[in-house]
């Protein structure tokens, strides 16, 4: 069916079995189906709306290939490979990176990550980022925690997220390379997390574990100088400041900072504001930057620095001069010749807002451009030349495609922008006419069998050109700079000698890193040079003062005021260092497991439920399976598990001994003994006293195990009857002095009645809830899974994980409503700080976790704690009140990049495919050229951090906060209605809103057959179903209805006659 061929079908959804032929002619009369004129109008409206709704095929579809070739062009979103017209890119410095992600894209990508053991991606990262952990943070919407992880190991985490050659580093080691879906977009995730943190506008602070600022040891007052304000120096200075040094100065010869990140990486790959953000974080710790000064400038040398009292110096000046072929000697820019060191800084100054106070124009590049070289810089020159007005760009290099040194990401971008590649050519002669370059002559290169490359003088190629840009690398060629480094020794390549481990030069007090060291080839390697040097500079300085330094490097992490937020909470007289603990389940199978959890930072743990020896159990296998509630997702991130595991197979004596040992070694962590007996007073008395005597801080009475134990008269068999629960609690209250909590089952009609019974029995609180009894699924042959033994038998098991969170939240909030102030230990789908906060808001006091650890490991506690601290801290920042937790307001975007509002330019909205996409590109290109004429100077505003304007809430302050919003249906207001509003700039034209509204809603969305843009009609009832299935976050919003809501009753309400 063509795009304009709309098949009109009868509307059976409106109560008519067929469309009235007379009504189809527009006649106002009763149809042959017996409908009224009003009904028939509804039929016609529905027929129009439903025209593009999916239908069951009754026959095959026939279209000619010629017609389909035309049809595909109309719907095409990617570039047409046969397209001869290149997109106009002049003055367009918008982000072009494929790795850039929106929040939606970041969450989906983070969920894909396996979070592997001994993750090879981390081993492939020069700065050794804890990649799996920061991606775990992102998957849990803890963007601050992710940024903290990143910036702790890499102070230039945002820059590296944008420009790192990840395909050759971390991504190259991703285990998902072994799967069909491919590796994780690690760079994009890193960029996303650090950009969200950047928007939080929170300062870096010194480690709270350092010595007090008013009591700094003398060694930390030592003067330290860093030369050059590039990545290596910024990294080194950041780590030295984190170590506690208070007198650090960076000298930069330019009037801007950032080094090559600023001057040679284009704005469309690395905006200046990203570099400025990282520099400001460094300056938060007191590092000073002096511009206009450097080695060889105004007499500055290593000797003068020493005379000025500097104890240690780091050289990070890069390689400032271009490597130039002899055939270009004497050629100048006005003749059409540039080196990359000339060209890219000119482009940067004209296109990077805030880089310098001047507003210099872009280099005037017209006609054909030849870029010489095959490294990243060459491809940056090529794509930048297009933005300066070049008509065609040829990238010419001496070797073949397999020898291109640039990373695949850069090469692919240049290819997409229609740059041409010419391999196996070496420049021989520049042809100049009228003092302008007109052509370049090349000779053919070949690789001989021995492996070396030769030039064949008999094969000559002449290429016409208007501009030539040489990108053959860089050198340290300034003799004044070299003299200023005296007495440092140089190697045969003309670079300073350096120890690759310590980054120390021949002069013990002088260190260096980055390009000048000859080891770093990328920004991230330069960052790591600075990181490495900082520790050994620290060791050197401390040795001068006779201070000992640990053999194992211990550089402080990244900290902000968020990390100072107190998340401790007191429940039933017990002080919990944080509200996150291990539930009585598989993560607490043994004492060593609890020990490792405490070492990781968990605030409390419940033992696996144990019983008296007479009730000891033996488990079956298999017994723990992945859920099907999230669909065919394999690996971590399971939305649910089902288990038929019983209580602990270990004895009560084992657990009592373990509790004693754990409390001795971890006195500040809370240990709760989980116990279970049948309905027998003597048993409960004996076991509870044993647990109390072992040193347990509290008890949890397991009255809720949904499988296996109930058949023995334990667990569920006791917990479903309020009278039994009340009596058991009374027996335990009589037996022990320590607090205890009754663990409730959700497998009851009214959990509140059970909670009331526990309170009446003397319990100090309850745990809500245990797993939900269920049958997870059956195989195609009718056999269950898990299937035990040769008979393949199963039983109803306990469903856990985020799938049961709605049930658990209901239970917690209902109990909190009924029993205000009664402590609740929540469990059931807590897998992040965000979900934990939901339970706290619902009335929970502390939070028990199990399934999330089954999905990952004990280290998720760091994510939960930093996430909760961030959520509490951000509540106090007035400027971020439009954020949802750690999620900023969604900008209008496509594929994570801001979308210009075309409607503001032409007065109508256009989709982003086919001819409309071409039209959008043309409109934007014309607008960019107009903007080029403007000479507005952009100055970055002075940095002012967001400061809390109101008290940061404690955990106790948020407990039960949501209860005021939860009530009966009768309390809901049916006069304040909403309707859906679709952002057509963000819409990806999938029609999911249209289909669900048609077949599950109110037929209130029209879908344009040409543009595929949906439009909400007046029939919208505000049900919210469209928003629920929309794949783009905030593309659909619910807004207040401006007209009265009049429900469609089908037929008029009967009017009762008044007697």
- Confidence at residue 1019, expressed as pLDDT on a 0 to 100 scale: 93
- Pick the closest to residue 732 from 766, 701, 702, 775 (CA basis): 701
Q: What is the mean pLDDT of residues 828-837?
A: 98
- The Cα–Cα gap between 795 and 779 comes to 15
With a CB cutoff of 8 Å and minimum separation 6, the contacts of 402 are none
> pLDDT, tens digit, for every residue of 356-387?
877 789 999 999 999 999 999 999 999 999 99
- What DSSP line would sit under 109-126, residue for residue? HHHH----TT-HHHHT-T
Res 80: pLDDT: 79
For residue 926, CA distances in Å to 385, 921, 931 come to 18, 9, 9
Mean pLDDT of the 933-937 span: 69
Contacts of 755 (CB under 8 A, 6+ apart): 742, 744, 766, 768, 815, 818, 819, 822
- Other Cβ atoms within 10 Å of 1055 Cβ, number: 6
Q: Which DSSP symbol is given to 700?
A: E
Q: Is the pLDDT of residue 128 over 90?
A: yes
Q: Tell me: the pLDDT tens digits for 615-653?
A: 999 999 999 999 999 899 999 899 999 999 999 999 999
Tokens of 938: 């952009």
Strands (E), 676-796: 698-702, 740-743, 765-768, 772-774
- What Cα–Cα distance (Å) separates residue 730 from each residue in 716, 723, 735, 759, 903? 18, 11, 9, 10, 70
Structure tokens at 554: 């211990």
Give the integer Cα–Cα distance in Å for 580 and 142.
15
- Encode pLDDT of 593-605 as tens digits: 999 999 999 999 9
Q: What is the pLDDT of residue 26?
A: 45
How far, in whole angstroms, is CA 559 from its chain's centroid? 19
Q: What does 448-486 look like in DSSP terms, one character per residue?
A: -TTS-EEEEEEEEEEEE-SEEEE---EE---HHHHHHTT
According to DSSP, the residues that pair with 463 across neighbouring strands are 440
What is the pLDDT at residue 245?
Answer: 97
**Res 932: pLDDT:** 80
CA–CA dist 368, 464 (Å, integer): 7
Both tokens assigned to 174: 């991703």
Annotated catalytic residues are 705
Rounded CA-CA distance 17/20 in Å is 9
How high does pLDDT run on average in the chain? 93
Of 456, 402, 403, residue with least CA distance to 426? 456
pTM of the predicted model, to two decimals?
0.94
Ranking 452-456, 900-904, 1028-1032 by mean pLDDT, the lowest is 900-904
pLDDT-based confidence at residue 47 (cuts at 50, 70, 90): low
660-709: pLDDT as tens digits? 999 999 999 999 999 999 999 999 999 999 999 999 999 999 999 999 99
Decide the pairing of beta strands 772-774 and 797-800.
antiparallel
pLDDT at 112: 96
- Residue 937, pLDDT above cutoff 90: no
> What own/partner pairs with CB < 8 Å and gap ≥ 24 does 598-603 have?
598/662, 598/665, 598/666, 598/669, 600/858, 600/859, 600/861, 600/862, 601/861, 601/862, 601/865, 602/578, 602/669, 602/858, 602/861, 603/576, 603/577, 603/578, 603/579, 603/669, 603/670, 603/846
CA atoms within 13 A of residue 243's CA, in its CB half-sphere: 29
Mean pLDDT over 187-201 rounds to 98
Position 44 scores a pLDDT of 60
Q: Are 799 and 770 within 8 A, CB to CB?
A: no
For residue 926, report the phi and psi dihedrals to the nearest 5 degrees: -65, -40
Q: Output the six-digit token pair for 249.
A: 């100065």
Checking if the pLDDT of 30 tops 70, the result is no
pLDDT value of position 7: 40
Per-residue CA distances from 291 to 56, 259, 294, 297, 555 (Å): 70, 12, 8, 11, 28
Q: Checking phi first, is residue 449 left (phi over 0); if not, alpha (psi -120 to 50) or beta?
A: alpha
For residue 863, how many C-alpha atoms fall within 13 Å in the half-sphere facing its CB? 29
Sign of CA dihedral 338, 341, 343, 346: negative
Secondary structure of residue 335 in the 3-state scheme: helix
In this predicted model, what pLDDT tens digit does every residue of 1042-1058 receive, in sequence order?
999 999 998 988 866 55
Q: Give the per-residue pLDDT at 1059.
A: 52
What is the average per-residue pLDDT within 385-400?
Answer: 96
783-831 pLDDT, tens per residue?
999 999 999 999 999 999 999 999 999 999 999 999 999 999 999 999 9
Q: Which residues are paired to 249 by β-bridges?
A: 225, 288
Instruction: Work out the percent of the chain whose per-residue pLDDT is above 70.
Output: 94
Retrieve residue 385's tokens: 């030349």
In sequence order, what DSSP letters do the residues of 914-928 get, joined into one string? HHHHHHHHHHHHHHH
Q: Which residues pair with 261 in a beta bridge?
A: none
Strand partners, 766: 742, 824
Task: Give the pLDDT band (50/70/90) at residue 172.
Answer: very high
Burial label, 573 (beta-carbon count in 10 A; 0-12, 13-18, 19+): exposed
- Both tokens of 485, joined, read 């480094």
| Percent of the chain scoring above 90 in pLDDT | 88
- Candidates 466, 413, 410, 390; CA nearest to 88 is 390
- Burial label for 317, CB within 10 Å (0-12, 13-18, 19+), is buried
| Cis before 786 (ω within 30) | yes
Taking the CB of residue 180, how many other CB atoms lie within 10 A of it? 5
Tracing tokens 């207001």 back to the chain, one arrives at: 973
Contact 740, 674 (CB under 8 A): no
Sign of the dihedral defined by the CA atoms of residues 19, 22, 28, 34, in that order: negative
Distance CA 740, CA 701 (A): 7
Separation CA 568–CA 868 (nearest Å): 11
**Are 419 and 412 a contacting pair, CB within 8 Å?**
no
HSE, CB side, 13 Å, CA atoms: give it for residue 246.
12
């Amino acid at each position: 069916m063509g795009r304009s061929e709309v098949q009109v079908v009868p509307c059976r959804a409106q109560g008519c079995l067929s469309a009235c032929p007379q009504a189809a002619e527009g006649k106002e009369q009763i149809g042959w189906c017996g409908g009224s004129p009003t009904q028939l109008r509804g039929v016609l409206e529905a027929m129009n709306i439903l025209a593009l709704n999916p239908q069951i095929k009754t026959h095959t579809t026939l279209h000619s290939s010629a017609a389909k070739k035309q049809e595909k062009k109309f719907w095409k979103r990617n570039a047409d490979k046969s397209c001869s017209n290149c997109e106009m890119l002049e003055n367009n410095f918008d982000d072009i990176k494929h790795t850039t992600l929106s929040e939606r894209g970041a969450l989906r990508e983070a969920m894909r990550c396996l979070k592997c053991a001994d993750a090879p991606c981390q081993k492939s990262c020069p700065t050794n980022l804890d990649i799996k952990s920061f991606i775990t943070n992102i998957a849990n919407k803890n963007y601050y925690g992710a940024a903290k992880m990143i910036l702790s190991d890499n102070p230039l985490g945002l820059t590296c997220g944008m420009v790192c050659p990840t395909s050759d580093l971390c991504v190259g080691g991703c285990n998902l390379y072994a799967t069909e879906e491919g590796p994780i977009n690690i760079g994009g995730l890193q960029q996303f997390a650090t950009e969200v943190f950047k928007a939080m506008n929170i300062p870096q602070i010194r480690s709270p574990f350092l010595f007090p600022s008013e009591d700094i040891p003398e060694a930390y007052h030592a003067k330290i100088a860093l030369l050059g304000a590039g990545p290596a120096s910024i990294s080194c200075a950041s780590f030295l400041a984190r170590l506690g040094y208070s007198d650090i100065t960076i000298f930069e010869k330019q009037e801007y900072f950032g080094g090559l990140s600023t001057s040679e990486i284009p704005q469309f790959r690395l905006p200046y504001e990203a570099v400025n953000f990282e520099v400001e974080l460094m300056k938060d710790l007191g590092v000073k930057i002096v511009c206009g000064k450097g080695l060889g400038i105004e007499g500055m040398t290593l000797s003068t620095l020493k005379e000025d009292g500097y104890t240690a110096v780091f050289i990070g000046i890069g390689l400032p001069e271009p490597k130039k072929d002899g055939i270009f000697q004497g050629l100048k820019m006005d003749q059409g010749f540039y080196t990359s060191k000339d060209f890219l800084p000119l482009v940067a100054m004209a296109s990077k807002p805030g880089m310098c106070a001047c507003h210099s124009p872009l280099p005037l590049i017209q006609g054909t451009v030849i870029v010489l070289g095959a490294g990243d810089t060459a491809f940056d020159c090529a794509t930048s030349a297009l933005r300066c007005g070049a008509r065609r760009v040829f990238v010419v290099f001496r070797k073949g495609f397999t020898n291109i040194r640039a990373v695949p990401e850069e090469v692919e971008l240049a290819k997409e922008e229609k740059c041409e590649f010419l391999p196996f050519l070496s420049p021989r002669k520049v042809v100049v006419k009228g003092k302008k370059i007109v052509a370049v002559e090349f000779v053919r290169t070949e690789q001989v069998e021995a492996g070396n490359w030769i030039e064949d003088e008999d094969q000559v190629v002449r290429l016409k050109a208007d501009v030539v840009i040489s990108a053959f690398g860089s050198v340290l060629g300034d003799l004044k700079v070299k003299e200023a480094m005296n007495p440092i020794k140089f190697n045969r390549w003309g670079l300073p000698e350096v120890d690759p481990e310590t980054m120390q030069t021949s002069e013990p007090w002088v260190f260096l890193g980055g390009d000048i060291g000859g080891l770093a080839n990328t920004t991230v390697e330069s960052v790591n040079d600075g990181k490495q040097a900082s520790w050994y500079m620290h060791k050197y300085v401390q040795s001068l003062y006779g201070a000992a330094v640990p053999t194992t490097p211990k550089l402080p992490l990244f900290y902000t005021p968020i990390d100072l937020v107190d998340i401790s909470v007191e429940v039933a007289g017990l002080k919990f260092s944080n509200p996150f603990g291990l539930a009585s389940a598989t993560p607490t199978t043994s004492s060593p497991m609890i020990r490792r959890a405490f070492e990781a930072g968990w605030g409390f743990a419940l033992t696996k439920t144990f019983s008296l020896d007479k009730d000891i159990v033996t488990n079956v296998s298999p017994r723990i399976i992945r859920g099907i509630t999230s669909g065919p997702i394999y690996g971590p991130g399971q939305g649910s598990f089902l288990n038929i595991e019983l209580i602990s197979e270990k004895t009560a004596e084992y657990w009592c001994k373990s509790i004693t040992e754990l409390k001795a070694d971890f006195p500040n962590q809370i240990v709760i003994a989980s116990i279970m007996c049948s309905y027998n007073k003597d048993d409960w008395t004996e076991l509870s006293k044993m647990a109390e005597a072992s040193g347990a801080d509290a008890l949890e009475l397991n009255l809720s195990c949904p499988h296996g134990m109930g058949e023995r008269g334990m667990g569920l068999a006791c917990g479903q009857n309020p009278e039994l629960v009340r009596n058991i609690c009374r027996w335990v209250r009589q037996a022990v002095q320590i607090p205890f909590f009754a663990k409730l089952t959700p497998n009851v009609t009214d959990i509140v009645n059970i909670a009331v019974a526990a309170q009446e029995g003397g319990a100090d609180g309850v745990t809500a809830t245990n797993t939900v009894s269920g049958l997870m699924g059956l195989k195609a042959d009718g056999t269950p899974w898990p299937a035990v033994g040769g008979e393949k038998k199963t039983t109803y098991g306990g469903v856990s994980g985020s799938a049961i969170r709605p049930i658990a939240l209901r239970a917690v909030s209902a109990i909190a409503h009924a029993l205000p102030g009664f402590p609740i230990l929540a469990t059931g789908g807590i897998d992040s700080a965000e979900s934990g906060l939901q339970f706290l808001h619902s009335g929970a006091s502390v939070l028990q976790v199990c399934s999330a650890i089954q999905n990952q490991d004990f280290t998720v506690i760091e994510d939960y704690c930093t996430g909760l601290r961030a959520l509490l801290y951000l509540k106090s920042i007035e400027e971020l009140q439009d954020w949802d937790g750690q999620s900023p307001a969604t900008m209008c975007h496509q594929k994570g990049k801001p979308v210009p509002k075309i409607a503001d330019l032409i007065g109508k909205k256009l989709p982003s495919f086919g001819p409309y996409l071409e039209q959008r590109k043309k409109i934007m290109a014309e607008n960019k050229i107009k903007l080029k004429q403007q000479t507005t100077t952009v100055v970055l505003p002075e940095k002012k951090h967001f400061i809390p304007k109101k008290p940061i809430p404690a955990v106790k302050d948020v407990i039960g906060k949501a209860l005021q919003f939860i009530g009966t249906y009768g309390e809901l207001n049916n006069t304040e209605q909403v309707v859906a509003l679709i952002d057509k700039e963000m819409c990806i034209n999938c029609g999911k809103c249209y289909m669900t509204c048609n077949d599950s809603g109110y037929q209130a969305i029209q879908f344009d057959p040409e543009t595929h843009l949906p439009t909400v009609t007046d029939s919208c009832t505000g049900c919210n179903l469209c928003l629920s299935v929309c794949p783009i976050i905030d593309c659909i919003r619910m807004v207040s209805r401006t007209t009265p809501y009049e429900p469609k009753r089908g037929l008029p309400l009967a009017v009762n006659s008044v007697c």
